[in-house]
Structure 1
Amino acid sequence: MNAEQLQNTLRASQYAEQVLGKHSALLEQDYAIDQFLLPLTPLQIQNFVHDTLEQITDESTWMHALRVLRARLMFRWIWQDANRLTDVVTLTRELSDFADAAICAAKDFALAPLLAKHGEPIGYGGAVQDLIVVAMGKLGAQELNLSSDIDLIFAFDEQGETNGRKCIDVQQFCILWGQKLIYLLDHITADGFVFRVDMRLRPWGDGSALAISHVALEKYLSQHGREWERYAWIKARIVTGGKEGDELLEMTRPFVFRKYVDYTAFEAMREMKAMIEREVQRRNIEDDIKLGAGGIREVEFIVQVFQLIYGGSKLELQDRQCLVSLHHLGEVGLLEQNAVLELEDAYLFLRRIEHAIQALNDQQTQSLPVEPDLRNRMIETLGFDSWEQFLEVLNQKRAKVIYQFEHLIKEKEPDPLVESFTQLEKQLNEVLDEDAKNLVHEFWYGHALKKLPAKAVQRLKTFWPHLIEAILQSDKPQVALLRLMPLVESVLRRTVYLVMLIESKGALQRLVKMATVSPWICEELTHYPVLLDEFLSMDFELPKRQDLEDSLRQQLLRIEIDQVEDQMRVLRLFKKSNVLAVAASDVLAESPLMKVSDALTDIAEVSVNATLNLAYQIVAKKHGFPLDAEGQRCTLDHTAFTVIGYGKVGGIELGYGSDLDLVFIHYISEQGDTDGIKPISGFEFAMRVAQKFMSLMTTQTLDGRVYEIDTRLRPSGEAGLLVTSLKAFEQYQLKSAWVWEHQALVRARSIAGEVSLREKFEDLRCRILTQPRDEANVRAEVLKMRQKMKDHLGSSKEQQKDGIFHLKQDAGGIVDIEFMAQYAVLAWSGSNPDLAHYSDNVRILEDAAKTDRLSSADATALIQAYLRERAESHRLALANQSMQVSADDWYDTREAVCKLWQRLIDPTATFALDRNDCV
């Protein structure tokens, strides 16, 4: 042994002195091996335990051997810690790995006599039942300290009976099994103990059954689970129990991590903190570096409160380990990076002090020693020259934790708005008409509130003055109130949202402003309150394409490929939350129209790409991969499949309520079979991918649909196949397509799928569009199609006489401009191929000017008219209003469009000043 290191070890720990005196021969043998002080892997620790206990059948010999091994390993860990040969994370992980191995060994050893006496425990479903051991607390998080209790919960999958000579039920069998496991580890012998076992975290605590079934645990958590138990179950981890254990733990996740952002965690945290403070005062343990102010528990509280608030929607926050989740909080922007670094530094320092305290006498304590000799031992181990110097550093680090904790979870001052409730109601009544007053009265005295729990009613009463104050500050108080009332009613039984709006400064004011502008936003939030989670954390910048891709990919990576319901939920909430973010940026930050459309189109494209990947994987998992048209095996990287976007998504001009016009094209060998266990033809494979895509996108769930999808623009329309080969698409477009189908192709582009196939499609599209065409014929076909649309979708003659203008379908509207852009491509791209390059109207019109087919003034006039009309259509969509507007307000814009229409398409059309219409 290294003499200096040995001296440091013995100075750091009286317990180490005892171990050395009792097991000097073994320790000298251990320390003669160079590898002994290197980090240990979980497998190495398992092998230590296995090799130590192998072939031991006598209980007392088994217990002696494991306790001696524990003493040897503890000496090693104290040696490493005292000589700074390890770090906190490595040390706590190794301690936890040893606990896991000891638990597994004890569980196995305890089973044999029970089987001999009672037989195997058989569930009612016929399966042999296993004892599920759930590690809680520091062991669950794999953060065990040098002299820590291990918090366990015992469970089993289902009830039943044993099949031996002395039959007992499965629960009793598992209780006996658990009792023996505890005895093997916890019982103090001449050699000490292995681990103190604490079972008080089980449902109902002390006095309740030691083992509980999956069903009983699920019922307990759903009906009786308390807030502090949510904190406890954050760190839960299955030590033994196999697939049934994993399923049991998965069942607890919704109890811990609520589907919606949960600001009630603040309230529970304050109650728990107050309880701990009372206990600290009662026991006079202010110097406890775990429970005292600025201690380990406060760092954990800060992390856990964010985990409980956001963990249901931000899955990366569900990690059990404190430091890992702390870093995630910084990455997702919930904590400032400086705060993350300060808390990490304090946590590691406090954990090292904890180890130094516990190394002294192998005692489960976090209180600073009072005896001078123990103090001196501890500060030498920690590298300080004096107790005063140590306290100065400790207090500095604790102060930083206290600041962050109080800043986050400080007690609320008495709410002055609640005190002035009557005055606020009086002011509100002064701006409401009788119908609105009656609506408020019915809300407060109706049946819905009478059925609410008292706590929910109290939260509503706390929230109401805040709502009134925000509404009174708006420029349309009655409008805001009437639009927000359905939202308030929709969350009455999930009043966590009311807490959220009170806790989140500024969120309520933003919500009121958005309500005055957009009933559509209010309706979305009312139907899908989960979107409030995202609303509260928005920065009101338009989402970036890369961020969208990264976010959705990370969310879907955490879901197994066969968990279709979870996939659909993620896709729906991704789309809805990000569209809401765009709308918020549109309304509150007044983002430019083109950027709004770009963002909405990006959301759609990212959704389509992800859904196509999922659909392809699901079908391939079942049937294997097909061959492509050239005989090469398709893979996830070579799918030979693409999705073509037409219309608004193709033209990068999506609005808030837009559906998606899509066509599916493949490059798969239709006759060849897939290479899976259940082979199907390549044609059927492509069809199933398209069908699965449609199902993932359009199935109506509680979270709605991702998008409405229209596939009627595929070859032969509704009579045609859902998915088409590239060759068949080419043949159709060249030989059978109508002119209007080539018009549609102008606004088409590949938006998802394999890159090489997307490039093939784009080449084909340009080749089709740049065919030489007779201008007169194109003009006649475009005019005929436009007239059909006016007749079926435009304003009636009576409406036109009444001064109504349909912004999209009437003459001089959006469709006229779109048709002129399409005409430009079909009529002129034969001699000017650059006109077929883009699919969006603005750039097509710009290119028409560059090629001198349109004058710069004409192109500018059309673009300005188009952007103005589209901007108004956006505003109307947000306001849930129709596209019919006052013709008088649009006269100049329509005149410019109609005059160009007359010149390009229909020389017989005139713009009649007296009727405000193009005829």
Structure 2
Amino acid sequence: MPQLVVDELLPLLKSIEHRGAKTIAWEAALHRLLQASQFASQTLARWPEMLEPIIAALPDTENFAEQRLVHYCQNVSSEDEFMSALRVWRNEQQVYLIWQEVLESPELPVRLTRISHVADLGITAAEDFAVAQLVKKYGSPALCPFSSQPQRLVVLGMGKLGAEELNLSSDIDLIFAYPTEGETKGERKVTHGEFFTRVGRKIIQYLDQRTVDGFVYRVDMRLRPNGQSGPLALNFRATETYYQDQGRDWERYALIKARPVTSVAVAEQALMPPLKAFVFRRYVDYQVLDALREMKQRIAAENRRLQRQANIKLGSGGIREVEFIVQALQLIQGGQSHGLQNPNIFAAMDTIRQEQLLPEGVCTELMHSYQALRRLEHLIQAQEDKQTQELPVDDEWRQRLAETLGYQDWTSCLDWVDNIRGAVSKHFDAFIAPPEEVMDVEHPWEPFWLEPQKADWQADFGAHADALRSAIEHLRADAEKYHLSDIALARLDRFMPLLLNELSRLQHPAEAMNRLIPVISGVLRRSAYLIMLVENPAAIRELVKLVMLSPWVADQLVDKAYLLDELTDPNELYRLPSRRVLADDLKQRLLRLPDDDLEQQMEQLRHFRHSRVLRAAACELTGNLPLMKISDYLTYTAEEVLQQVLWLAWEQMTEKYGIPTRVDGHLCDPDFVIMAYGKMGGLELSYESDLDLVFIHDGAPQGQTRGVKPVDNNVFFMRLGQRIIHLMTTQTPSGILYEVDMRLRPSGNSGMLVSSLTAFQAYQEKEAWTWEHQALVRARVLAGCPKLKERVEAVRANILRRPRDGVRLWEDVTAMRDKMRSNLGTPATRRAEEYNVKQDPGGIVDIEFLVQYLLLKHISEVPELVLWSDNMRLLETLADHGVLTQEQRTALSTAYLQWRQEVHRQALQNGGGKLISVAERAQFETTIATVTEHWERLVVAAKPT
């Protein structure tokens, strides 16, 4: 391809040289460009007329981007023309910037500024065009109190854009804000909130939407207040209030690099001062170092999980570690040093050097490494104009990259990269957290591992000696079978004496070892986990403890080695964070990934879910927290995951098909919710619970999406539902997220996957069976559009409160319960030796049906019952209003908790949900009798006449 393009462009190149182009060996320079970038080859092949202005501007023309933007956009009038012009301009600028990178001229800091400046111009042009279009429709916004001109949207550039050090091929992270509330002055008035939200959407469309000419920038709005669930644009006061009242530490880190791209003077006057006050404390903020150390540990854990050795940004010794050091000093000292408030890393490092916050040699080596890695990053991205920091795996591209960097072969190039990363890693570890000292044990356990036949097992392990020695020999055989590298074997040799030291403390060391063998075998090929355990001896202790307490935990660790990272901090392992901290953790994990990297997003979601569930299990197994707290936490974890899955699916679908429309013609935002039933709806999730879900939308029935590839709204929402299920249930190397059950949707498996609100309401009113209304008792909306959530909850409340025929209700409930006992329960002849804790008489489902029956029977007199979906609060409300006595409520609540505790216990012991011996059943005879008595008295004997 490159040679073909060179041959096609040579006549044009000769003509340009003849007309007086600058004295450069252009044919060789063109060869170097096309060798380095397939994107440049394809772009110049399609638009050869770009070659002359680019050559005229090389190696460095300050106003080239502005001049060419005017050239392309001067005669456009329609949106389609504007979007096409902007994309062609961007493609031309990208070739120009790549060529500068190949020529390595001008200096890197200038190149980064130019890349950022091109983005600034594109954003500003998009905002100008969007405002012009919307002012025609709605009139101008009110005057700005800070400028005496009509208000305009402030676009804050975040991350590398804000710091004017943007990547060659990168997302742009933006936040939208506007000065004050008010109304536009046109005939069709709208509020400022509506106007600037539409401006923001137009900007995203103009920049992000892919057309036949490509795209301008991938726009990422996840850093805005409240993330994807927050308004697209907020006024200055609301923005300031959010950060004052709800701002998290990670948002402080993000706002270090915030810079206004549009309406700069207004933003600098009124918006930036309170944001800077939020970021930079007036005192020396040493406490932030602890938070950064925790973040460093999370990064190291991510690198182990995701095996990022080839990632020059996120992997060990990568770009992020240099940025991390500078950012830490900015946060610690930024309130005292104005120079550290500069978002640009080069300016900040100059201040660090001048104020001697790091030694001169360290500053020099870090910035030398940073510049080398950033150029390497750009040349990787130049290949196909993709946002990636992964070293190439293709041999041809490796050779091309090596030659562009001045190396003869890939091996020597890789040695250079490894040396740079080693220098960064050394400084990073020294600055953030020096490695912990490895624990030495007094007993010489090495011979027990290295030469098990010669060790004196009897003296240390007594009756367990033979079994433990056999287990160790089994593990050694496994290690030999895998043909491990010398490094992996050395790590195993360091780990095993520490493990044996822990086993020597146990009453049943051989049993523990047999449970541990599959875990250890699972990480032999990912020996980074072995060295992690060696450097964190406390984690070995927790590993042994939890594996002995639960075979389920052992199985989790076998399948998901990345969970071993959760054992490194016992204080965190046995303490469940608040809902807010949980949400922040997941948000930060996803923010560290490119928004178009679906594979890594799916992996990260799975890592999050399974690691949080492991923590819950650790707390329950050790008795640190009661059942209700555990269930709440498991439920909240699933809710946060579902919310993020919804937004990921929404982004994918809208990028492909555009945004669906409402009946009023406005765009959906997103007018879609996920409703949960059963254990999820009732906040009673266990470790392996399925999620019973229903999807509801409120798009226009006859509408279409607005995008490059429009489809009917109904098709869009069906595919959105399918995408959500796919993201949840697809098997990846880290497992699945959750099993999803959609059978409770209207008409069950024969019904539409996604229902409109109108169809959902009509079905519940006219077609639903009594058992479906019973299911609705434990339903609640937990993800999606807040406004639609209110409307769905209103439909649920109206359905539950409708009058019912008492006889029909009793007959339907008892008939369904009998059918479930017959089909799902244990035959009566076998219940003495096998008892199903859910389905058999006196079990969990009897309590659930009892509560649902009483609610549907009495809700007209006790409307407060509609507020709750969990059985404990429903029982409490029934008692508070005299439907149950307090004694009945106490008895049923106690029995319900006992059964749920047994469900959790069985899950953690890999049980089957059954009591399988007379002795096991004997422990619950009182519970069974209590539930049976209340079922007979409150339901069976209460048949209306």
TM range (shorter): 0.5 to 0.7
Name the CA distance, whole Å, in 1 between partners of 2:101 and 2:29: 16
Q: SS state of the match for residue 707, structure 1?
A: coil
Structure 1 position 450, deviation (Å): 6.3
Q: State the SS of the aligned residue for 1:506.
A: helix
Give the 3-state SS of the residue equivalent to 1:702 in structure 2.
coil
CA distance in 1, matches of 2:729, 2:102: 53
Partner of 1:863: 893
* Match of residue 115 from structure 1: 27
- Give the counterpart letter for 2:810 in structure 1: R
- CA deviation after TM superposition for structure 1 residue 714, in Å: 0.4
- Contact in 1 for aligned 2:353/2:360 (Cα 8 Å): no
Q: Does the 8 Å contact 1:561/1:618 carry over to 2?
A: no
How far, CA to CA, are the matches of 2:659 and 2:102 in structure 1? 52
1:90-489 aligned at under 5 Å gives the runs: 112-113=24-25, 115=27, 122-123=34-35, 242-243=168-169, 309-310=300-301, 312=303, 320=320, 322=322, 324-325=324-325, 349-350=355-356, 354=360, 408-409=434-435, 412=438, 416-419=442-445, 421-422=447-448, 425-426=457-458, 430-432=462-464, 437-446=469-478, 448-449=480-481, 451-489=483-521
Q: 1:121 to 1:771 in 2, by over 3 A?
A: closer
Instruction: Tell me which residue corresponds to 1:778.
Output: 809
Cα deviation digits, residues 462-499 of structure 1 (max 9, x gap): 21122122123234433322221100000112222122
What corresponds to 1:156 in structure 2?
none
Q: Which moved more, 1:730-739 or 1:439-448?
A: 439-448
Equivalent pairs counted in the alignment come to: 599
Which deviates the most, 755-764 or 315-324? 315-324
* 1:351–1:542 Cα change, 3 Å: closer
Q: What residue ranges of structure 2 are gaps of 5+ in the alignment?
A: 1-16, 43-98, 111-162, 173-289, 307-313, 333-348, 365-426, 449-454
> Post-superposition shift, 1:539?
4.0
Do the aligned partners of 2:612 and 2:637 also contact (CA within 8 Å) in 1? Answer: yes
Partner of 2:554: 522
Note the C-alpha offset of 1:352: 7.6
Q: How big is the shift at 1:655?
A: 0.1
Answering whether residue 628 of structure 2 is matched by residue 598 of structure 1, we say no
For 1:785-796, what aligned pairs fall within 5 Å after superposition?
785-796=816-827
CA contact (8 A) 1:424 1:465 kept: no
Quick one: which of 878, 901, 906 aligns to 1:876? 906
- The 8 Å contact of residues 777 and 869 in structure 2, kept in 1 or not, is answered as yes
**Quick check: 1:323–1:344 contact (8 Å CA) kept in 2?**
no
Read off the aligned partner of 1:726 and give its amino acid letter: L
Structure 2 residue identity aligned to 1:112? I
SS in 2 for 1:669: coil
Change (3 A) 1:344 1:864: farther
2:587 to 536, 540, 553: 553
State the partner residue of 2:679.
648
The one-letter code of the counterpart of 1:753 is: G
The AA in structure 2 aligned to 1:631 is: D
2:849 aligned partner: 819
Alignment RMSD (CA, Å)? 4.3
Q: Which deviations, in whole Å up to 9, do the C-alpha atoms of 1:195-230 show, x marking residues without a partner? A: xxxxxxxxxxxxxxxxxxxxxxxxxxxxxxxxxxxx
Change (3 A) 1:641 1:113: same
Distance in 2 separating the partners of 1:557 and 1:814: 41
Q: Sort the Cα spacing of 1:908 and 1:806 in 2 relative to 1 into closer, same or farther, 3 A.
A: farther
Aligned equivalents of 1:826 and 1:576: distance in 2? 37
Task: Report the Cα offset of residue 327 of structure 1.
Answer: 5.4
- The answer to whether the 8 A contact 1:770-1:833 is kept is yes
Q: For the residues of structure 2 that align with 1:879 and 1:634, how far apart are their CA atoms?
A: 50
- CA 1:425–1:669 in structure 2 vs 1: closer, same or farther (change >3 Å)? farther
What SS class does the counterpart of residue 530 from structure 1 fall into? helix
The answer to whether residue 643 in structure 2 is matched with residue 612 in structure 1 is no
- Does 2:898 correspond to 1:892? no
- State the AA in 2 paired with 1:350: Q
Amino acid corresponding to residue 812 of structure 1 in structure 2: G
Aligned to 2:602: 568
Relative to structure 1, is the Cα distance of residues 178 and 324 closer, same or farther in structure 2, using a 3 angstrom cutoff?
Answer: closer
Match of 2:11 in 1: none
Q: CA deviation at 1:426?
A: 3.9
1:807 aligns with 2:837: yes
Q: Tell me, in whole angstroms, the C-alpha distance in 1 between the residues paired with 2:815 and 2:294.
A: 65
Q: In structure 2, what is the Cα distance between the partners aligned to 1:671 and 1:730?
A: 18
Check whether the contact 2:632–2:683 (CA below 8 A) recurs between aligned residues: yes
In structure 1, give the amino acid aligned to 2:556.
Answer: E
Quickly say closer, same or farther: Cα 1:329–1:352, change in 2 above 3 A.
closer
| Aligned twin of 1:720 | 751
| Paired AA for residue 668 in structure 1 | G
TM-score by length of 2: 0.57
Q: Which residue of 2 aligns with 1:585?
A: 619
Equivalent of 2:734 in 694, 703, 723: 703
Q: CA deviation at 1:521?
A: 1.2
Is the partner of 1:907 in helix, strand or coil? helix
| Pair 1:634 & 2:640 matched | no
- Aligned to 2:941, the other structure's residue is in SS state coil
CA distance in 2, matches of 1:850, 1:307: 47
Residue 771 of structure 2 aligns with which residue? 740
Report the CA distance shift for 1:181/1:490 in structure 2 as closer, same or farther (over 3 A).
closer
Structure 1 residues 775, 763: closer, same or farther in 2, change over 3 A?
same
* AA in 2 matched with 1:811: P
Measured against aligned partners, the alpha-carbon deviations of 1:374-418 in whole angstroms (never above 9, x if no partner) come to xxxxxxxxxxxxxxxxxxxxxxxxxxx999879834765765444
Contact 1:463/1:499 (CA < 8 Å) preserved in 2?
yes
Q: Which residue of 1 is the match for residue 531 of structure 2?
A: 499
Query: Match for residue 674 of structure 1?
Result: 705
Deviations 1:791-819 (A, max 9, x none): 222223343133x3222221111111111
Q: Percent identity?
A: 34
AA matched with 2:628: M
* Mapped contact 1:646–1:748 kept (Cα < 8 A): yes
Kindly indicate whether the alpha-carbon contact (under 8 Å) linking 1:463 and 1:498 is maintained by their aligned counterparts in 2. yes
Once the two structures are TM-superposed, the CA of residue 531 in structure 1 deviates from its matched residue by 1.7
Q: Which amino acid aligns with 1:113?
A: A
Q: Tell me, what secondary structure is at the counterpart of 1:854?
A: coil
| TM-score (norm. length: structure 1) | 0.59
**Quick check: 1:466–1:502 contact (8 Å CA) kept in 2?**
yes
Contact 2:301 2:562 in 1 (8 A): no
Q: Does 1:625 align with 2:625?
A: no
Shift of 1:626: 1.6
Shift, 1:845, TM fit: 0.7
Tell me the secondary structure at the aligned position of residue 642 of structure 1: strand
8 A contact 1:808–1:815 mirrored in 2: yes
CA distance in 1, matches of 2:820, 2:808: 19
The answer to whether the 8 A contact 2:657-2:710 is kept is yes
Aligned equivalents of 2:801 and 2:103: distance in 1? 83
Query: Which secondary structure state, in structure 2, belongs to the residue aligned with residue 750 of structure 1?
Result: strand
Long gaps (5+) in structure 1:
1-56, 58-107, 131-175, 186-193, 195-236, 247-298, 333-342, 359-400, 910-919
Per-residue deviation, 1:607: 0.7
Deviation by residue 1:335-364 (Cα, 9 ceiling, x = unmatched): xxxxxxxx9999875358749999xxxxxx
- Contact kept, 8 Å, 1:470 with 1:509, in 2: the verdict is yes
3-state SS in 2 of match to 1:773: coil
Please tell me whether the aligned partners of residues 238 and 245 of structure 1 are also in contact (alpha carbons under 8 angstroms).
Answer: no
Alpha-carbon spacing, 1:493–1:426, altered in 2? closer, same or farther (3 Å): farther
Report SS of the residue matched to 2:737: coil
